[in-house]
Structure 1
């Protein structure tokens, strides 16, 4: 029996399509290879090496190398039972909070203003660019700028003297040094936080705001009852990333205090303490301190994330129960 011409043509086309079929899955894995290669070389291997070195006594005394000698958890004990570690961790958290609290408050305020269509703000693109620009400046350059401005003979003290006020030694006072470090961290990061929170607020369905206004809710109630609960995941992300950055605070206080944490080590951070061990080539102690910081950061991040998102999870469970109850009826 002869096969119709159009059937033969369809069969030829299907055979061609089968031959031209390409498995895109393998290309996805191929494109992932560079990422995993960079991650293994620059992150995973150094991480494993840090854990390994933390169990060894390994340092320099003049030109003589001591170790590496396996000492178990002795490096960890020396750090944990050393009062300096807790002091430097306390300094770090104080300076981080001094910068983060105004940062999140002002960022929320600016994000709500820029995303409120009723205000009809003009030149918002210009203002967004201006507030984000400090984030593009290197922290070292920022620290040198503040060091020059707030020096004993700097412009700020010259202005105070012209007003008949005495010279205030910012870098010689605890409040002054910590305040400058917190101010620099605030100025460098509040623009980035504002942009992130703006994106979060713009992702909220505008119908919810309109419905609330129709029901008579004012701006404060809308912000507290609708905006904040719906952007909690982004707030959690912002808080966790800022916390990690705060614990890793190094460049600004290092340059501003010349690595000494003046006055009287009140602005010395944990990473500056770690840097001193690395500078003295005490790799065992530096590795142990790095591991402790890794554990502290992980625990704090998990705690913050669970605390912020627990209400959302509870709401999701309640919705699921209500849905099941309706289906059962």
Structure 2
């Protein structure tokens, strides 16, 4: 009897793995495999052109990170970008969602309008904003019209990264707005009615009822924002033509990884070490965010 049960269990397990095999194959080939290969490359000096060669260098690639001035610049630019964009887009998404959830006239129309930037390709959106940021573009014309100073958005190192920040906040906040809108539907209306009886105004209800009730959702939004912003590449690449300029002001860690991997000979291993270090930074940032969000207590 026991042998029959064992055979039946093995047969059921075999059938399960058989049905899972396409998914397992994709995971191993396109996710787990490349991760393991990247870790392998990070400990080697790799030459891919003119004959592939792997020379083991141990931790040399990681030690080089501390002496690379461009790596420090890229990390600083990325950290500044994350520190500004993530809180701003999260707060903006929450405010817009709460406003749309208040039952205002034309609510459905504004939901569609606000969500439109999310549907636009990132590359196309970047090209549109480059046209708007042009020296004689729409934004400078508007600033000039209302009497404010104009900027050389694309060529001034002091404002180039800020231009990318503005574009990304505008384009990503609507996506998180939809998440908040769905979460707002789950808040019990009786809580707001009780607050009305106590004489609470709209701002008090927002900060003392809405924000605490959405704490787990905010934790998810912030984590997704952290992962996305740390991986900034395409906008920076298009804005600067792949150089990270002007004067390395738009150079990000992922763009630097791309440059070392595909533009410089013999630095593929160092690029893999940079990618591995970035993955560790993202993991640590995510764990810290979860710790300080007090999600478990909520």
TM-score by length of 2: 0.86
CA gap of 1:162–1:305, structure 2 versus 1, over 3 A, is closer
> 2:288 maps to what in 1?
303
Matched, 1:215 2:188: no
Matched, 1:98 2:84: yes
Gaps of 5+ in 1: 1-23, 316-329
- Deviations along 1:229-253, whole A, 9 cap, x unmatched? 2211110111111111111000001
Map 1:151-170 → 2, pairs under 5 A? 151-157=134-140, 168-170=151-153
Distance, in Å, in 2 between the alignment partners of 1:258 and 1:141 is 15
After TM superposition, the structure 1 stretch with the greater mean CA deviation from structure 2, 89-98 or 300-309, is: 89-98
CA gap of 1:27–1:188, structure 2 versus 1, over 3 A, is farther
Given candidates 71, 77, 80, the residue that maps to 1:85 is 71
Aligned residues between the structures? 286
Partner SS, residue 172 of structure 1: coil
Given candidates 13, 22, 26, the residue that maps to 1:38 is 26
Deviation, 1:271, is: 0.5
CA gap of 1:203–1:34, structure 2 versus 1, over 3 A, is farther
> 2:113 maps to what in 1?
130
TM-score by length of 1: 0.78
> 2:255 maps to what in 1?
272
After TM superposition, the structure 1 stretch with the greater mean CA deviation from structure 2, 64-73 or 192-201, is: 64-73
Aligned-residue CA RMSD (Å): 2.7
Distance, in Å, in 1 between the alignment partners of 2:19 and 2:194 is 46
Distance, in Å, in 1 between the alignment partners of 2:98 and 2:62 is 46
Map 1:1-329 → 2, pairs under 5 A? 32-59=20-47, 64-65=50-51, 67-116=53-102, 120-157=103-140, 168-279=151-262, 280-281=264-265, 282-309=267-294, 312-313=296-297
